[in-house]
Amino acid sequence: MNELTPIPEIENVETPELTEPVSQDLNISKEPVIILKNVDIHQKKLLILSQVSLTINKGEFVYLIGKTGTGKSSILKLLIADEKVHGDHAEIVGFDLKKIKTKQIPYLRRRIGIIFQDYQLLSENTIFENLDHALKAIGWNDKNERYERAMKTLDMVGLSTKHFKYPHQLSGGEQQRVCIARALLNDPELLIADEPTGNLDPITSEEIFQIFHHINTKGTTVLIATHDFMMIDKFPSRSLLIEDDKIIDSGL
C-alpha cells in the first residue's frame, strides 16, 4: 500500500519556478499500468482518433492535452471501461478492456481513483458522509475502519478539520480536494483526473496540482486530462498532446 503523508492546509503557497521536468526516476518502473495498441477512439459513434498506441508505466505523471472535443475525455472513458474498445489491445491495471465482463468493471474501478471536473459530491451529505458512502459502495463494511480511512484521506488533502461541513460550505478548491480524497480511499494504483482545475482560479489550481504531484511522489501513477497550460508549465512532466487527429508524445 502506498502510504501518503498528510498535506497541510495550503494558503497562497509560493511555488518556485520550475525550468526543468520534474524528476520521477525513483518512482517509475517498467511495469505498464496502461497499454493501448492501435485503438480507435470514438465520440458518440464518430471516429475522432485512429490507431492510438501508447504505454504509461507505474509511477509516471502524465498529462493528456488537447483542445475541447479532441478526444481527451473519450480516452478516459475507454480506460475506465465506459466505452467499448475498437482496436488491437487495451489494458489498464492488468485488466484486458477488450475482454472485460460487465461484472468485472466494478473491480477494475476499485483499483483506479477517478476525479471529475464537476466534483459529483452528494449535496445533502457532509464531507465525511460523502466519503463514508463511497467506502460502503466499494465493500468497506466495518464502521470504524471506514471512519479511520475517510479521516486519513481528508488529512492527506488538508481537510480533516472540515469533515462535518457540507459541499456548499466549501470553496471550489476545497470541493476538488474532497474529490481527490474520495479517489484515494481504496489506495488506487492509478489516479485519473478529467480537467480537475477547469472551474478553478490559478492560485487554487496550483494548490490542486501540488497535491497531485505529492501523491505521485509516493508512487501512485497519475494521468491528468487538461488544457491548463499554466499548470503544465509550472509542473512539467511527460505530455501526450492530441493534435491534428494524432497523439504526440513529449517523451519526458
Residue 124 identity = E
Can you tell me the mean pLDDT for 229-242? 94
11 band by pLDDT with thresholds 50, 70 and 90: very low
Cell of 15: 511555488
> Is the Cβ–Cβ distance between 112 and 188 less than 8 Å?
yes
pLDDT in tens, 90-135: 999 999 999 999 999 999 999 999 998 788 899 999 999 999 999 9
Q: What is the pLDDT of residue 25?
A: 53
Say yes or no to pLDDT of 13 above 60.
no
Q: Please write the tens of the pLDDT for every residue from 44-72.
A: 888 999 999 999 999 999 999 988 888 89
For residue 250, what pLDDT is reported? 87
More confident residue, 177 or 119: 177
Most confident of the ranges 178-182, 227-231, 244-248 = 178-182
Q: Can you name the residues that pair with 52 across neighbouring β-strands?
A: 39
- In a 10 Å sphere around its CB, with 0-12 CB exposed, 13-18 middle and 19+ buried, how is residue 244 labelled? exposed
C-alpha 90/C-alpha 194 separation (Å) is: 19
pTM of the model as a whole: 0.85
Q: At 14, is the pLDDT very low, low, confident or very high (cuts 50, 70, 90)?
A: very low
Mean pLDDT rounded to a whole number for the chain: 87
Which amino acid type is present at position 227?
A: H
Between strands 46-57 and 61-65, the pairing is unpaired
Question: Do 60 and 221 touch, CB atoms closer than 8 A?
Answer: yes
